[in-house]
């Protein structure tokens, strides 16, 4: 049986890592992204660290703001060179 809490933690972590990487690729600060998403810098920071249980609408808002989509951001990404 799947450990649902561990699975949820993994998804939040994957999303947060993707959010941070994409935000940085766009040369946006957390404050910049917060302004675009109409939230706080603290909320962006918490999302990037996988500390929030985000609503689907918030996931979508962040994903669109960094030019991605929710399914991609929930998936563990492999960095160039094969590292994670």
| Matching CATH number, 4-73, of 3.40.50.300, 2.60.40.10, 1.10.260.40, 3.30.460.30 | 1.10.260.40
The helix/strand/coil state of 39 is: coil
pLDDT tens track for 52-64: 999 999 999 999 9
| Domain extent listing, the chain | 4-73
| Region class of 67: left (phi > 0), else alpha (psi between -120 and 50), else beta | left
Q: What pTM, to 2 d.p., does this model score? A: 0.89
pLDDT tens track for 43-52: 999 999 999 9
């Amino acid at each position: 049986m799947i450990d649902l809490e561990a699975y949820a933690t993994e998804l939040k972590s994957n999303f947060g890592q993707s959010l941070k990487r994409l935000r940085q690729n766009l040369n946006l600060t957390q404050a910049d992204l917060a302004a675009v998403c109409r939230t706080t810098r603290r909320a962006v920071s918490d999302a990037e660290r996988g500390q929030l249980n985000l609503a689907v609408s918030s996931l979508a808002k962040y994903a669109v703001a960094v030019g991605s989509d929710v399914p991609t951001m929930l998936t563990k990404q492999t960095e160039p060179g094969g590292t994670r």
